[in-house]
Amino acid sequence: MKGFPIEKATNLRTPFYYYDTELLRRTLQAIRKEMETHPDYRLHYAVKANANPRILEIIRKEGFGADCVSGGEIEACIRAGFSGDSIVFAGVGKSDWEIELGIEKNIAFFNVESIPELEVINQLAATRQKKARVAFRINPNVGAHTHANITTGLAENKFGIDMGDMEKVIGIAAGMEHVEPVGLHFHIGSQILEMDDFKALCLRINELQDRLEKQGITVKNINVGGGLGIDYSCPDEVPVPDFSSYFRTYAEHLQLRPGQLLHFELGRAVVGQCGSLITKVLYVKQTTHKQFAIVDAGMTDLIRPALYGACHRIENLSNKDAEETYDIVGPICESSDVFAKAYRLPRCRRNDLLALRSAGAYGEIMAMQYNCRPLPPAYFTEDFA
């Protein structure tokens, strides 16, 4: 891994997350450059990918907004200095206190997922004599070529309002005194690398906008969610995702109406490549069938392999000897606590440091304390300066 301060890191207790701040900034600048050519585009970073306060602060300072899916995330963003009106709030199950917090902080809009939710927002805004801005999360019934657990835009998924109910819901909202309908929201899934999936979403949105226009309805904001994937197998060759193709897909295929703003909620593509989980080899264990490298990080620190069968590139930072084949496993009392099977790595010795790459998104934030393990700390490039 380029630039990793291995000497300075050797005495630190492992496992820990390491964030390459320079790469994060480079990624944000690549997005900003795209935004400059499209002044009607807005990025709300999807906080659920990584809510480390230092990461949030860097993203906020680059001038981006935030996409939250819980009250806790809204609080984390406010603490990191995001203004209420740069925050959008999605989620199928928003609690009353979370809605109240959103109203109190004057967030840009709620992405509303059902009529009962809309009614509660109206009620809670009424008790505060306020008007809550809402966008309707429409389920576009567009599939995405990604893992089944992370597609969200199919009719069978729990997310959003059926396309067929769109006009009805907008009609209901228009009759409510304390909500202001301001947009449509979509999100089709995560780790999407086929631009055609985003194109399919664009075509669907065009169709829905045509339908609304026939009824004389226009909305100020279109929010297309996130989902752009990263290259997990070649983090050094493709450290910054192909934002040009991504934004160009929308520019070419989505027909924005005059004055409309187009909002994006990228998470993984913003923070995925800048983070690595650093772990130490505890034991190399030979059985009749296999050789195991037992490391001190487990699924409690990085759950993606156990949860989604995700593959992270693994590197031996301490040794460049000839490669051998290992199952790389953690110490947790679960058979799914496996990072990789039959993986080729330079010979592993006790105390070698390994890096699990591309762990900046859905890594640290999903860490848990099962087995009473401490949560992994995080270090940034400048901590080693």
Residues at the site binding ligand PLP, with contacts judged by CB under 6 A: 46, 48-49, 67, 69, 90, 187, 190, 225-228, 265-269, 361
What are the tokens at 115? 């009529």
Tell the smallest beta-carbon distance from residue 186 to ligand PLP (Å). Answer: 9
15 prior amide bond cis, ω within 30: yes
**Residue 14 or 190: which CB sits closer to ligand PLP?**
190
Q: Which amino acid is at 317?
A: L
Are 331 and 337 contacting, i.e. CB atoms less than 8 angstroms apart? Answer: yes
**Residue 137 or 280: which CB sits closer to ligand PLP?**
137
Pairing, β 338-346 against β 323-329: antiparallel
CA angle 151, 163, 130 (to 5 degrees): 95
Tell the smallest beta-carbon distance from residue 268 to ligand PLP (Å). Answer: 4
Tell the smallest beta-carbon distance from residue 35 to ligand PLP (Å). Answer: 16
CA angle 23, 33, 198 (to 5 degrees): 90
Tell the smallest beta-carbon distance from residue 269 to ligand PLP (Å). Answer: 6
**Residue 187 or 357: which CB sits closer to ligand PLP?**
187
Can you tell me whether residue 373 is helix, strand or coil? coil
Tell the smallest beta-carbon distance from residue 240 to ligand PLP (Å). Answer: 15
Scan for tokens 């006009």, then name that residue.
167
Tell the smallest beta-carbon distance from residue 89 to ligand PLP (Å). Answer: 10
Scan for tokens 């499209």, then name that residue.
38
Alpha carbons 385 and 383: distance in angstroms, whole number: 6
DSSP, residue by residue, 196-233 = HHHHHHHHHHHHHHHHHHHTT---SEEE----B---SS
Alpha carbons 229 and 269: distance in angstroms, whole number: 6
**Residue 181 or 272: which CB sits closer to ligand PLP?**
272
**Residue 4 or 186: which CB sits closer to ligand PLP?**
186
Can you tell me whether residue 365 is helix, strand or coil? helix
**Residue 23 or 353: which CB sits closer to ligand PLP?**
23
Tell the smallest beta-carbon distance from residue 327 to ligand PLP (Å). Answer: 29
* Helix, strand, coil shares, percent, the chain, to 5: 35, 25, 40
**Residue 269 or 297: which CB sits closer to ligand PLP?**
269
